[in-house]
Structure 1
Amino acid sequence: MSKTFDRIAAITFLAVGALFMVESLRISKSAYGSAVGPNVFPFLLGLILVLLSIKLLFETAKYAHSESEKLPLQYKKFFIILLAAVFYAALLETVGYVITTFVFLVIGFQAMEKGGLWKSVLFAACFSLGVYGLYVKLLQGTLPSWPIWLQ
């Protein structure tokens, strides 16, 4: 990407991350039946977004002054991931966190780089089960459970 685009994106995401952090402080600190309040994840995601944006700003300062060749925009990959994200959000409560996250990650990995299906499946399974286990079992938080037909 170009230096200008990356700087604009970094500043935009920095503002969005800061907004996430500020607004997460307005969410109640505790939730019934959960040791982790509903404000924790939005705050952490905002913090990660802010830190990555700052890193991108520093990296753009190191860019060479000359513009390199422009890469073609990858609309097909973008729309595949966008559609997968829409279905992920729509089906999260119905199908459950583990299954929807697994399917979303496999689709996303395969859209970005075809091949290595088993590696994508393995990583997606480990991630979705690992996050579910860590958050629900260890931290006693709540995520959409397994679908009714699997319980």
Structure 2
Amino acid sequence: MNRTFDRYAGIVFLAVGALFVVESQKITASSYGSNVGSNIFPLGLGIFLALMSIRLIYETFRYKNTGREKEKLDYKRFGIIFSAAVLYAYFLEDIGFVIATFLFLMIGFQTMQRGKIWSSLIISAAFSFGVYYLFVHVMDGTLPGFPSWLGLE
């Protein structure tokens, strides 16, 4: 871990989280056909990001000083996950939340740790279906469903 990088990243992510919280207040509280407003996810994500950033900043003060060790940055993994996130956002409406989220999580899990394919499959599927069910059926929100060519609508 690089103390300076982590501290600056924590400050930047704290600012981004605060921006999410502030800007989510400008989104309408409810959307057509939904009991859950479109401001809920950005607000929750902003709060979560801010809390995790505060934790990261706190942890940088607890690092043990081990000297000047240089770490090699892993650009390949970053590129794969960044590309997957961009493709996730681009195809979310076309292939639906469950399939897009499942594929994004599988790519992320396999990029970070090769192997353990079955646990990655189970976690990705459970998370994708679980969030969809919770948001759409329990909270009466709206998310992009399955594509029409699957016939699961």
TM over 0.5: yes
Deviates more, 1:70-79 or 1:135-144: 70-79
* Alignment correspondent of 1:118: 118
CA deviation digits over 1:7-46, x for unaligned, max 9? 1001100000000000000011111211110111100000
Change (3 A) 1:73 1:28: same
Q: Residues of 1 paired with 2:64 and 2:149: CA distance?
A: 56
SS at match of 2:143: coil
Q: Residues of 1 paired with 2:41 and 2:30: CA distance?
A: 12
What does 1:82-97 align with in structure 2 at a 5 Å threshold?
A: 82-97=82-97
* Alignment correspondent of 2:77: 77
Aligned alpha-carbon RMSD (Å): 1.1
SS at match of 1:115: coil
Q: Residues of 1 paired with 2:57 and 2:74: CA distance?
A: 24
* Alignment correspondent of 1:104: 104
Letter of the structure 2 residue corresponding to residue 16 of structure 1:
V
Q: Say how many residue pairs are matched.
A: 151
Q: Residues of 2 paired with 1:79 and 1:51: CA distance?
A: 26
Query: What runs of 5+ residues in structure 2 fail to find an aligned partner?
Result: none
* Alignment correspondent of 1:133: 133
Q: Residues of 2 paired with 1:68 and 1:122: CA distance?
A: 41
Does the CA-based 8 Å contact 1:88-1:104 persist in structure 2? yes
Displacement of 1:57 in angstroms is 1.1
* Alignment correspondent of 2:49: 49
CA deviation digits over 1:102-121, x for unaligned, max 9? 01110110011100111111
Does the CA-based 8 Å contact 1:2-1:67 persist in structure 2? no
Q: Residues of 1 paired with 2:131 and 2:38: CA distance?
A: 16
CA deviation digits over 1:79-114, x for unaligned, max 9? 111111111111100000000110111011001110
Given the two structures, how large is their TM-score scaled by the length of structure 2? 0.95
Deviates more, 1:10-19 or 1:65-74: 65-74
Displacement of 1:68 in angstroms is 5.8
